[in-house]
Structure 1
Amino acid sequence: MKNYKKIVLVFLALLPFTGCSPENDIKIADFTKYAFYEEFLGNTTDGSVLNITGWTNYAQVGTVKWNEGLYSGTKYAEFTSYQSGQASNIAWLVSPAINMDTMNNETLAFDVAQAYVSSSSNSIELLVSTDYDGTNVMTASWQTLSFKTPPLNYDTNFTFFSSGLVDLSSYTGNIYIAFKCKGSGTNTSLDGTYELDNVRIFDKK
């Protein structure tokens, strides 16, 4: 994580936490229950490799994985290639199996922040699989899903945005949600940071 983070966060503490502008605030519709909710509350050490029961933290290229994020009481998952020293880093964070047969209008939402991201090649993707075996990420079939990403803009560094509502109602049985990040530790235009929090699937009414 870049050294400027704490300075930026002190400033941002004075701003609303839900986003940089009203149009980015997402009001979640009424729901009956959560099928899944992850807040990363087990984080204890900022910058240590994230290890959550049931989740897969996998480095596809390079050695960088998702890390624990912890700052001023806020806990989240974090990916950054900054100072990795590796030309390419690709890391996956894959959820446990989520049963889609317990409700009818399954909807995914999460909060995502970015910092020092200036290129679309320094990316975060949302994917879903119905055939992941819990171990072999690269042999599973993955479908890319669209969500609202933070703008490539310095003014929004480390400000969490809502992903918007991602419709999952067409899926049945068990699914797995994955967050895939790409970056570089040798190309300064690709060494930005992504942060992830409040991953939830609920019954949207």
Structure 2
Amino acid sequence: MLDIEILRHSEAWNASNISDPMVELAARAALGVAPPLKDGLYEMTIVLTGDAEISDLNRKWRGKDQPTNVLSFPAGDVPYDAETADANTVHGGCMPLGDIVIAFETTEAEAAEKAILLSDHLSHLVVHGALHLLGLNHQGDTDAEQMEDLERQALASLSISDPYAAPDDPASDGKAGLVEIL
């Protein structure tokens, strides 16, 4: 079971047609394709913010003085087994997975540049961030391919086109693929 808290730190997200249930569906889609977690109650927080706040976080945690689309802050070891899960359980028996922070201005600009819906791009960023919280990464080619495959599966379950498909690929519906997600 997954408890998702969505915090809106930017009025721009409120003005968009992005609903909390849509954001939650994307997070749940990521969990649906990731390696299974130990039975239990898990929680994650998704912060919908703006470029100014994410720039501050990016500078503080990654040494990059610029906005980015998404940052993930895992809470600790991913609870794939009972030993790890017991060590990370907090009050009330709920295990934190971590936080995902997404910037409106950068996300909106990327969606416009790629000619994709803001909601589709946001869903991709939520899936990407959630997979990071679950311990996946894209540091090497093999890891990147595995993570991209899981992203494609999660997004397909939401009827969202492959974000990595080339613009002339028939599977992309003529939409440009994403080049990079941080």
Q: Quick check: which one's strand share is greater?
A: 1
Please give the TM-score of this superposition, normalised by the length of structure 2. 0.30
Larger RCO (CA within 8 A; separation ≥ 6): 1
Q: Quick check: which one's helix share is greater?
A: 2
Please give the TM-score of this superposition, normalised by the length of structure 1. 0.28
